[in-house]
Amino acid sequence: MITSRWRHASFRTQIVFSTMALIALGMVAVTFGIQLLLHQTTENTINTLLEERNDAVVAAVDSASGSTLTVPAEVLEPGVAVYDAHGHRVAGDLATVSTEHLLPLTTVTTTTYTRIGERARLRAQPFTTGSGVSGVVIVSEPLAPYERAGRFVMFACIAIGLIVLIASGLIARWVTNRALAPVVQMADRATDWSEHDLGRRFELGPSTNEIAALGNTLDGLLERVAMTIRAEQRLTSELAHELRTPLAAIQGSADLALMRGEVSDDVREDLEQIALASRAMAVTITTLLDLAREPEAVQSTATCLLGDVVDAVVPLVPGELALARTAGPDGVRVAAPRDLVVRALSPVVENAVRHARSAVSLDVAVHPAGVEVRVGDDGPGVDPTVREAVFDAGAAGPGGGTGLGLGIARRVARSVGGDVLLAEGASPAGGALFVLRLPRL
């Protein structure tokens, strides 16, 4: 789950969180190092302090002792005790240390260190005075001040680490916003130019930096896109023009043969089918010619009323099928020419008529950003095996057809800034539900 979210996160977010993660690891390492260094320094400081106090007490006892062990009062500060060779306390007090911890130290023969939990550290040092008197000096150092200092340093490191982490995240966010803002703007402009103005270029000059190099790359990409689109428009236009002449001849011949009246019923039926198919092909070719025009001609300032578009396709539903029509608010205007919108909607309605059993529905929904015309039927629906390719040429459903009309409908809709989609689920009547989306004026 985390890996999936990270993979789908924006590049800016990945940079910021990567920076923060690196800073966090660095601060953890620094805090650990400081704590380790502080612990070692504290241990050395305590040991040095205990050694100096031990040496001071031993020196004072050596100076004051004769045949008996004598301890000057001025060296008997809190946490110091002197024991004779038999382990009996001669002077001093270690009341905070329990007997079980002191007893093993009163008769040691070598310098010994002992730690009592987190409370104190002891150092027992045996000695022999110049007069031959032996004993043991035990000094203690409370550890609470050092523990408090260690905790303070740790909390300070954590607080500083959090401040540095937040600051680094904000700085990384600011830097990435500044660095990626031109890239985002260039990408948006390239997308807009590729759809509306194929002649625009960034023209940032030589590739002296990454942004200029990206601009030159996008310029090359836009040039290739423009060449491809122009080549497609030219080929479509030429093919449509070439097809118009023989198609007109076919349609004219069929109409003339029907006007003679000297044909049998079977031949007349065939001629009527030829005439009907040729007229449908003529409409398709005219649509392709309109799509092959320059974008400025297709994306013109012409608009139309949505109600007029729906009224134009209602006659496509034959009388034997029930038509359930839900009109939208009056006066809704679409930001596209009426003829192109009708050509985008007509194949969708014809598809519903071809697959419907008894009813076709036309529902209009208005949104702030656009309008939707939902065309449904009560037929068998779209075969799951062709659902993903229903707009591709050659896709066939259970009711027949090649899917060419839906493909052209989508292409026309996209040429005016809309789209044709196959809705998820079924229509209210149980069949397929197609949605034509159009830009609203």
For 275-284, write each residue's pLDDT tens digit: 777 777 777 6
Cβ atoms of 423 and 436 closer than 8 Å: no
**pLDDT over threshold 50, residue 400:** no
**pLDDT over threshold 50, residue 255:** yes
What integer pLDDT is reported at residue 33 of this predicted model? 92
Residue of 316, 55, 266, 24 whose CA lies nearest to 167: 24
Residue 184: which H helix or E strand, with range?
Answer: helix 144-196
Cβ atoms of 135 and 70 closer than 8 Å: no
- Per the DSSP assignment, residues forming a β-bridge with 359 are 322
Highest mean pLDDT among 91-95, 190-194, 293-297: 91-95
What integer pLDDT is reported at residue 4 of this predicted model? 60
**pLDDT over threshold 80, residue 437:** yes
**pLDDT over threshold 70, residue 426:** no
Q: How long, in residues, is the chain?
A: 441
Mean pLDDT of 197-219: 71
Mean pLDDT of 36-64: 88
DSSP state letters, 252-285? HHHHHHHHH--S-HHHHHHHHHHHHHHHHHHHHH
- CATH for 299-439 (2.60.40.1180, 3.40.50.300, 3.40.50.720, 3.30.565.10): 3.30.565.10
- CATH for 210-291 (1.10.287.130, 2.70.70.10, 3.40.50.150, 2.40.50.140): 1.10.287.130
Integer Cα distance of 125 and 371 in angstroms: 95
Summary mean pLDDT of the chain: 79
Residue 231 amino acid letter:
A
Q: Where are the domains of the chain?
A: 210-291, 299-439
**pLDDT over threshold 90, residue 163:** yes
Integer Cα distance of 196 and 303 in angstroms: 18
CA 48 to chain centre: 58
Cβ atoms of 204 and 212 closer than 8 Å: yes
For 309-326, write each residue's pLDDT tens digit: 888 888 888 888 888 888
* Residue owning tokens 């309008």: 371
What integer pLDDT is reported at residue 365 of this predicted model? 86
pTM for this entry: 0.48
Cβ atoms of 361 and 375 closer than 8 Å: yes
Residue of 409, 164, 232 whose CA lies nearest to 309: 409
**Residue 415 pLDDT class (50, 70, 90 cuts):** confident
